[in-house]
Structure 1
């Protein structure tokens, strides 16, 4: 069941250079009536680990689970996050006050030169209840406080905005679209979604469904945007990045490639009670391109959260964004 679900739904075997039939031939003989749970888990993990896909997973219990990731990706720890926060604070400068919402997952600061800094570390979990309606309401509260009439038009309006999703583990795509709606005064295409549609033919997909960004009915910011991304920009952080690529003027992407996973996760169960997940969709640009695997590249490559920079409390990507916006304003 595990192998067949991937065979019928996973879109990226060819791109990942993985022969899924050969995977079955290699691992199926290892499963017998005497196979232990630990051995079975090891086999399932070994089957999907070479995909290097953060939307692939197998969960055998709270203490036995595996999720893929792109090579070289080190998932953040509390200690790492603390070091990142210190480097960002130093990059913002002394005396800069950041206001926070959504249990700290959203924050904003006004910087010298009428440049705004808006950081989004997740697109979920904005309230203790954790439901989508509550998350959307909390996000709107933050966006109303950030995108005021004073910051979006007139002599005191922002001359540039930095949006930071370098440490964003994903969540709900529509929350990213809500933010995008505050950054445009005209509707445009965010991306098109399609899912695998034939269990025998990996090239067959559903008709792509367009997803659009519509302008917010209220103050919107239409000036220059610098978007900070990195390999820890994951899932909904990436669909948000892709949604902003159709904005006019397009944001300047600064940092590193995003993680490279866009699809919603197809969640399934095994007969023994374990759960597993996999992607089954592509998020397409207007030209039919997908960024799965490689991630969305930056226009301005800059190291993101390098150990030496964190040790010195430096944030070169943030510094580059500030310099570019100051020069363009």
Structure 2
């Protein structure tokens, strides 16, 4: 099987198929769509419930914007998100899934399966705001990967990063106090699926300092940016030469997605939809983008550059 790239918080080795059940006092609710199933396994946590509702809002926002632009296809894997509360929920989960093998996690009690993300809310309340921001960013990547890309396609870096940052910022549009990459960023890769259905995955973490999205965008608006052609040609699995350029590229990707969706007067949405149809097949890049925007690539960057000042 061809490798398929997935961005999330941590990976573990588990059977590829399993039945999700609950036990004891843990109650389960679910939101199910063609590509996405959201499970809530909590008892008394209003804040935990809000986190799951925010994840539902994240999914609706994706479907209302980018997800609604691409032709539907039958998903190879249905993305599943689980939220559970405290040690009781974790014990119930492990009891019902005895084959689960826990991998290293940046957050206590946080587990993940290929195409499935488990969100831990400890007994003291919600994960820290910055941690939730990282969580939302990872879920955004998973949503987009599950919906858009064909088998074996990694896609363009700016599309994946721009959409994930756009969605996260949209859900938290009234509170920009969170930071991107405060604790750790991570990338996961499915490297192999055995005949027995076991999934081999690798995970890497990177420590990063606090960087608020507003501060990054302000730096971008003052003229520090990555050339648009460089951004458009950057592959999803290609590293950036230094963290500063990566930060600028992340903001430029977010601004570009926002610009294509909303300005001027959302007139560029059909062109973004045409580009995403190419992106799905691994045919993105600056030349494809140039064709879609009728050869106006050079004119586009100054427009995006000015547009960022209107996003507050």
Do both proteins adopt the same fold according to a TM-score greater than 0.5, normalized to the shorter chain?
no
State TM-score, norm by structure 2: 0.27
**Structure number with higher strand proportion:** 1
Q: Which has the larger radius of gyration?
A: 1
Report the structure, 1 or 2, having the larger helix content. Answer: 2
